[in-house]
Amino acid sequence: MSKPILVSQDTSTMPELASIRQMVTPCYQCGFCTATCPYPLLGHRLNIRKFVRALQLSMLDALEQAWLCSTCKLCESKCPRGVPITDAFVKTRRLLALSKKTPEKLEQVLWNVYENGNSWGVKSTEKLSWAKGLEVKDASKGVKYLLYVGCAVPYDPRLYKVARSLVNVLGAAGLDFGVLGKEEKCCGDPVYHAGELEFFEEIVNENAEKFRRTGAEFVVTISPHCYNTFKNLYPSYGADLNVLHYTQLLEQLLDGGKIHPSRKLDGRVTYHDPCYLARYDNVVEPPRKVLESIPGIEFVEMRDSAQDTLCCGGGGGRMWLESEGGRPSDMRVSQASEVEAGLMVTSCPYCIQNFEDSVRRLRLGKPLQVFDLAELVDRALG
């Protein structure tokens, strides 16, 4: 029989652990989190309640689960005792990082950011490859809106189209905007979620300075993850930015009569809310408003929409980590297929990558296309 584990409340030697434990003490171990999380359902070893219990009892050995969470915040948003579960996961990662327990793949991402300023390792010279043949203003010459493209777009040719569509739409609206191009540097999202806070702070300072120099009034992001990082993480490091996710900008343009989606499209369309938009920042109405302005489409909600949305599996560094169980994006794509949508629209590069992957592998009864909202609007502008 194994020896009983000594449970001591004395954590004076580990102040970091003590502060995380403090976050989870209200937990009464109902297990709702475990049951609501898609990962355990897909066969992953993640058991959120047990993770929290391990924190409550300062059981260091059981904390490595921290890397399995995609930080989608579904459990946290529904926790009956209001425990900041996601934050506890992220803070635990820092604890693990300090003892050099970061997974190798994530370490590589950190080096990518360190060396190239792009989490996917895209070199500076390639950072504008998506914009070939397009005229996009160089933001360093001064713009009102800084379009922050993010790391994924220059990496994945599929996403070129997203950025190009958005540029078209913004252009059609006559907006004064530009991009940083090869000067653009990762927002720091994967760095933060890997627990490398010192490095993250450095990135915040560098980016804030770059943004300031453009004189832009607004930073517009394509990725909800960049949006969250700028909006919710930067301020505590002294950088207050006016950030918009592009769906919010599109809503403004629509309301201001700057864009007129008038070309009729058809098909049954559903919208997937990216977790970082819907749950982190409650942005659920703007994309729907924009979608509904497009003539001809038949809009249908999936189960688990808006704040109840399910994760595609891409957040919190999970984009780079191997999975031992099934893919959350498969679940989500099946839900879209359940409501017989022909078009699954979303507004996050990770979601697009994951869903397209799932659609390719799943062989659904009815063909399902994955689109970014920007792409659809671009088409509808005709």
Partner 1 sequence: MSEDADSVLVVGGGIAGIQAALDLAKAGVKVVLVEKSPTIGGKMAVLDKNFPTLDCSICIEAPKMGEVMRSPNIEVISLAELLEVNGSAGDFTVKILQKPRFVTSECTRCGDCVPVCPVVLHNEFDFGMGARKAIYTPIPQSEPGAYVIDIEHCLNKPPNYLPCNRCMEVCGPKCIDFNMKPKVIEKKVKAIIVATGFEIFDPSVITEYSYGRHPDILTSIEFERLINSSGPGGGHITKPSDGMEPESVLFVLCVGSRDRRYCAYCSRICCMLTIKEALQTVEHGIKHVSVLYMDIRAYGKGFDSFYQRAKSEGVEFIRGKPGRIIPGKDGLRVIYEDTERGELVQRKYDMVVLATAALPSRDNKKLAEILGIELDEYGFFKTIPGYPVSTGKPGVYVCGCTSGPKDIPDSVQEGGAAAAEAMTFVKKRRWPKEEIPEQKEVSVEPRVLVNICHCGSNIAGVADIKELVEFARNIPGVVYADNTMYSCAGYGLKKIAQQMKEHNANRLVIAACSPKTHLVTFQKSAMMAGINPYMVEMANIRNHCTWVHRDYPKEATEKCKDMILMAVEKAKRLKPLMPVTYPVTKRVLVVGGGIAGMSAATNLARQGIETYLIERENELGGMLRFVSEIAPEGVDSKKILEMKRTELEQSGAHIMTGVDVQMVTGFVGNFNVVLSNGKTLDVGAIVMCTGAVPYQPKEFGYGSNGKVVTSLELESMMNNNLDANNITFVSCIGSRTPDKGCSRYCCQSMLKQAIRLAEMGKNVTVVYKDIRAFNKNGEELYEKASKLGVQFFQYPQDALPESVIRFDNGLVVVKDELQGGEVAIPADLLVLNVGLSPNTTIKNIIEQLKLPRDMEGFLLESHPKLGPVDTSVEGVYIAGTAQGPKGVEESVAQALAAASKASALVSAGSITLEPFTARIEQEKCIYCLRCAEVCPFHAIRGELRKSTELVQAMCHGCGTCVAECMRDAMNQYGFEDEQILAQVDAATEVEPEKKAIVFACNWCSYAGADQAGIEKLQYPPNVRIIRTMCSGRVSQKFVMRAFERGIAAVIVTGCWPQDCHYNYANLNTEKRMERWKKMLQARGIDPNRLQLHWNSAAEGKRFANKMKEVAEFIKSLPIDEIRSTPQKLKGVKAAA
Residue 232 binds partner 1, judged by CB under 8 A = no
**Residues 58, 7 contacting (CB under 8 angstroms):** yes
Candidates 5-13, 138-146, 162-170, 233-241; binding stretch for partner 1 (CB under 8 A): 5-13
d(CA 263, CA 260): 9
Count, residues in the chain:
382
* Complex with partner 1: residue 7 or 133, whichever CB lies closer: 7
Choose which of 20, 66, 69, 79 interacts with partner 1 (CB under 8 A): 79
* Complex with partner 1: residue 61 or 135, whichever CB lies closer: 61
**Residues 27, 52 contacting (CB under 8 angstroms):** yes
Residue type, 70: S
Choose which of 27, 68, 69, 380 interacts with partner 1 (CB under 8 A): 27
Residue 272 binds partner 1, judged by CB under 8 A = no
Candidates 31-39, 232-240, 294-302, 343-351; binding stretch for partner 1 (CB under 8 A): 31-39
Chain position carrying tokens 């780079």: 320
Residue 9 binds partner 1, judged by CB under 8 A = yes
Number of residues this chain uses to bind partner 1 (CB under 8 A): 42
Residue 143 binds partner 1, judged by CB under 8 A = no
d(CA 164, CA 377): 12
**Residues 65, 46 contacting (CB under 8 angstroms):** yes
Selection from 318, 321, 308, 304 nearest residue 350 by Cα: 318
Candidates 2-10, 154-162, 169-177, 352-360; binding stretch for partner 1 (CB under 8 A): 2-10
**Residues 178, 141 contacting (CB under 8 angstroms):** yes
x/- map, 294-323, partner 1, by CB under 8 A: ---------x----x---------------
Which positions ≥6 away from 212 have C-beta within 8 Å? none
* Complex with partner 1: residue 39 or 371, whichever CB lies closer: 39
Q: CA–CA distance from 191 to each of 91, 109, 114, 195 (Å)?
A: 13, 8, 10, 7
Residues 44-73 close enough to bind partner 1 by CB under 8 A? 47, 49-50, 53-54, 56-57, 59, 62
What minimum distance in Å lies between the beta carbon of 234 and partner 1?
28
What minimum distance in Å lies between the beta carbon of 297 and partner 1?
25
- Structure-token pair, residue 127: 């950072």
d(CA 152, CA 142): 24
Residue 339 binds partner 1, judged by CB under 8 A = no
d(CA 122, CA 182): 10
Residue 41 binds partner 1, judged by CB under 8 A = yes
Which residues bind to partner 1, rule: CB under 8 A? 2-10, 21-22, 25-37, 40-41, 47, 49-50, 53-54, 56-57, 59, 62, 78-82, 303, 308
